[in-house]
Structure 1
Amino acid sequence: MFDDLQQQFNRSFDSLEDFADLISDYLQCPVTIEDANHYLLAYSSHDDETDQARVSTIIGRRVPERVINRFWKDGVIPKLNYSDEPLIISTIDEIGLGNRVAISIRKNEEVLGYIWVVDVRGILNKENLALLKMAARKARNQLLQFNLQRKKKERNEQELLWQMITGEIANYTRMKEQLLRIGHQQDQSIAILIFSIKDLSKDLMKQLTYLTNTTQKMKILIHTFDEDQLILLVAPKDKRTFVEETEQFLHSFLKQVNDRFDQDFQAIGCGYPKEDLRTINESYNEATAVLRLKQLFPRELKSAYFYHELGAFRYIDLLKRTPELQKLATNPALEKLATYDRENQTNLMETLETVLDYEDQLTKAAKKLHCHVNTLNYRLKRIKDITMIDIKNPVQKIGLYFDIKLVRKKH
């Protein structure tokens, strides 16, 4: 049998479908072949027995995200990625998965794809598993060629993204055609999301690329890396619900990055969707503005993703970029408070800023300052005695908030 199969594998194949059919004929089981990002490349054509997970994969041309997530949770994909041995997977009814055997297609340490065999009747034996290893080795060359084509396509897409970001679009019609080829729909809005990452290594780049290619919570048209940033060009389902859709995507994406790879992002900035594709650079500028302010005010803007969520800091951003800011005199009340802190080794300026940050929620402010509420009330009375300011006065309160933030970052 092995000699016969070896001869069969040594011949050329018109397509991966022919190759999948050959494996299926020998194993008498349905076969699918996927790329490293779980997109369907080929499946055997004569399958009397199958399961719902395979049907969904064939219809959607990719493995459903709930199946991928379950495989990560159960350790299936990590085991496949770090071994060239077949892996037996028992039935998982919750995701419509019958008995499976899977093996990774590899070149050295790089995973090029996977072969999945549906074994509903549990008929595969050791000889069949050895045959599957032979099939994975044979598939290597075909997937290497596919990989080269995919990487060339990604480079072209990334070049297109940079043209859009910089506003230097050489040919608008060609740009629209390229976007349509990668899944953008006519008249669909697009937006930019940026993730700031500390210590972006090659391994982490591969892991993030895998996630952007496998997520189905949001349509990601193009991704690229720029120094310490992951940049995504996304196409929301509906411009009117973009914020909600993005927040759901971020919740899922961040959890997967943390759970699977034990990584976190430093900051995230989201631009708004644009209907005119020539103005996508505006979405990029909005996202970078959010990141810039989050870098300056990480504590205050920890939960902000969009420009409108920056609140008063939108105006602080405008004031910071105004030349007259350097000429603006420091609030005398704050100068008095700073002098008192220096001379008495106190932290009343920090106390005032924290109370303003927490909008007079003294219990939360006291917890942040690690003191009792009564102690905080005493400090506030002391601040009023020193500065003669009334933080209950809304006009003074808003002015103080701006003054403190601008003074803290003016130099």
Structure 2
Amino acid sequence: MSNEIYKLFNQSFDSLEAFADTISEHLKCPVTIEDANHHLLAYSSHDDETDQARVSTIIGRRVPERVINRFWKDGVIPKLNHSDEPLVIPTIDEIGLRNRVAISIRKNEEVLGYIWVVDVNGTLTTEHLDLLKLAAQKARNQLLQLNLQNKKKERNEQEFLWQMITGDVVNHDSIEKELVRIGLKKGQPVAILVFSFKQMSKELYNQLTYISKTTQKMKILIHTLDENHWITLVAPKNSTTFIEETEQFIQSFCEQIKERFETRVEAVGCGYPKETFPIISESYNEANAVLRLKKLFPRELETVHFYHELGAFRYIDLLKRTPELQKLTSNPALEKLAAYDKDNQTNLMETLETVLDYEDRLTEAAKKLHCHINTLNYRLKRIKEITMIDIKDPVQKIGLYFDIKLFRKSV
């Protein structure tokens, strides 16, 4: 590579746009520069020799999610994230992508961003790729400075989120003004979603941040951590379709974190959208209530995300948190059945709970208990003899369901 090229990239640039134009001028190809979360930082001018993926990126100021998903599926982004070498990417017509060459901008193992070159005619040579490596090294310091600014901004936003969910800020207009600055549309509601993980690490937090910045299924305004809980403030597109929108987002999020990073979400709790911002703490409390009960009853509430989906467990939660009511919920019949199980090495309590869980679907209950339907009927007859419980009586049945859930968590 000539000394002129080295001198060219050793000069100071007024902006990343000027830097992108310089790369483009020497490669004779359109160039874009992105941050680590695929948000557009700069792009060179271009003629008709470009592609739809680049046009969409420039218009939306970030790479379309369908393009990111395809790059993960094809292994493009993992390769870029673990190498300092340029990567040649052949045409992918389904996402409007023509021949590309890309390189990551890195400091040690941390990816700061990417340089993308549209190589429409496949004219880039080895010397051009060496120039691209030099450009990535030159861009490192500029993106480091930008990264520091973004981290400071993120810390300030996280502090603001905690002020909201703890009720330290109570003026609607001042909260809305700050949220609009962050990216909320005026008049748009906000809600809290909380994702629970088995354990949290810096690497996992970075992965969560990456997904939050690249997803386009739901707008995540702010996110922060509370031990192993990832708390997000989201802006739904529409309050009336919030539940459907959120369910789609959760499914996509859980799939991405599993497929890309081999991490599993333990549980998700969702609060409802609030148009009055000083009461956003209510949304946080709703999400936390779901997580608290899912932890106590993981089997029964495995697929639950919203408070209204808890059903009878909403009242079980109330009973558990009210000592005066707990005194009224002791059930001698259950205590007698538990004592019989202990003395006779049986599992009649489990049988009773399973039958209540499956209501009148005895065949499914028998399958769950790994026994024949006749065996199940015999056990139910024995339970009635021991306890005088009549599970066909709807009043007894409803009360028994509450009692057995409370009893199981108190023994």
Report TM bin, short chain.
over 0.9
Shift of 1:330: 2.3
Query: Distance between the aligned counterparts of 1:346 and 1:94, measured in 2?
Result: 60
Superposed counterparts of 1:366-381, under 5 Å = 366-381=366-381
Say if 2:329 and 2:403, in contact at 8 Å, map to a contact too.
Answer: no
Question: Which one-letter code corresponds to 1:209 in the other structure?
Answer: T
Q: Does 1:292 align with 2:286?
A: no
Q: Does 1:7 align with 2:1?
A: no
| Residue equivalent to 1:203 | 203
Query: Distance between the aligned counterparts of 2:400 and 2:386, measured in 1?
Result: 15
Query: Distance between the aligned counterparts of 1:42 and 1:407, measured in 2?
Result: 62
Query: Distance between the aligned counterparts of 1:172 and 1:397, measured in 2?
Result: 46
Q: Does 1:47 align with 2:47?
A: yes
Say if 2:102 and 2:116, in contact at 8 Å, map to a contact too.
Answer: yes
Superposed counterparts of 1:106-117, under 5 Å = 106-117=106-117
| Residue equivalent to 2:216 | 216
Shift of 1:326: 4.0
Residues 355-364 or 399-408, more deviating = 355-364
| Residue equivalent to 1:71 | 71
Query: Distance between the aligned counterparts of 2:248 and 2:146, measured in 1?
Result: 33
Q: Deviations for 1:347-378, whole angstroms, at most 9, x for unmatched residues?
A: 00000001111122122212221112221111
Distance 1:11 1:329, change over 3 A: closer
Query: Distance between the aligned counterparts of 2:258 and 2:329, measured in 1?
Result: 45
Question: Which one-letter code corresponds to 2:201 in the other structure?
Answer: S
Shift of 1:384: 1.6
Consecutive unaligned residues of structure 2, counting only runs of 5 or more, are none
Distance 1:308 1:326, change over 3 A: closer
For residue 221 of structure 2, give the secondary structure of its aligned residue in structure 1: strand
For residue 180 of structure 1, give the secondary structure of its aligned residue in structure 2: helix
| Residue equivalent to 1:395 | 395
Query: Distance between the aligned counterparts of 1:121 and 1:262, measured in 2?
Result: 37
| Residue equivalent to 2:38 | 38
For residue 230 of structure 1, give the secondary structure of its aligned residue in structure 2: strand
Q: Deviations for 1:315-341, whole angstroms, at most 9, x for unmatched residues?
A: 011111112134226222212211221
Shift of 1:265: 1.5
Query: Distance between the aligned counterparts of 1:32 and 1:360, measured in 2?
Result: 62
Question: Which one-letter code corresponds to 1:389 in the other structure?
Answer: I
Query: Distance between the aligned counterparts of 2:405 and 2:170, measured in 1?
Result: 42
Shift of 1:241: 0.7
RMSD, matched Cα = 1.2
Q: Deviations for 1:11-67, whole angstroms, at most 9, x for unmatched residues?
A: 111111100000000000000000000000000013331011101000000000010
| Residue equivalent to 2:309 | 309
Query: Distance between the aligned counterparts of 2:311 and 2:172, measured in 1?
Result: 35
For residue 114 of structure 1, give the secondary structure of its aligned residue in structure 2: strand
| Residue equivalent to 1:279 | 279
| Residue equivalent to 2:162 | 162
Residues 235-244 or 8-17, more deviating = 8-17
| Residue equivalent to 2:352 | 352
| Residue equivalent to 1:363 | 363
Q: Deviations for 1:52-103, whole angstroms, at most 9, x for unmatched residues?
A: 1101000000000010000000000000000000000001111111000000
For residue 130 of structure 1, give the secondary structure of its aligned residue in structure 2: helix
Q: TM-score, normalised by structure 2?
A: 0.98
Which aligned segments of 4 or more residues in structure 1 are displaced greater than 6 angstroms?
none
Question: Which one-letter code corresponds to 1:63 in the other structure?
Answer: V
Q: TM-score, normalised by structure 1?
A: 0.98
Shift of 1:170: 7.0
Shift of 1:160: 0.7
Question: Which one-letter code corresponds to 1:288 in the other structure?
Answer: N
Superposed counterparts of 1:217-256, under 5 Å = 217-256=217-256
Say if 1:348 and 1:383, in contact at 8 Å, map to a contact too.
Answer: yes
Query: Distance between the aligned counterparts of 1:334 and 1:298, measured in 2?
Result: 22
Say if 1:29 and 1:47, in contact at 8 Å, map to a contact too.
Answer: no
Aligned residues: 411
Say if 2:171 and 2:278, in contact at 8 Å, map to a contact too.
Answer: no
Residues 347-356 or 316-325, more deviating = 316-325
Question: Which one-letter code corresponds to 2:332 in the other structure?
Answer: P
Say if 1:326 and 1:410, in contact at 8 Å, map to a contact too.
Answer: no
Query: Distance between the aligned counterparts of 1:314 and 1:354, measured in 2?
Result: 20
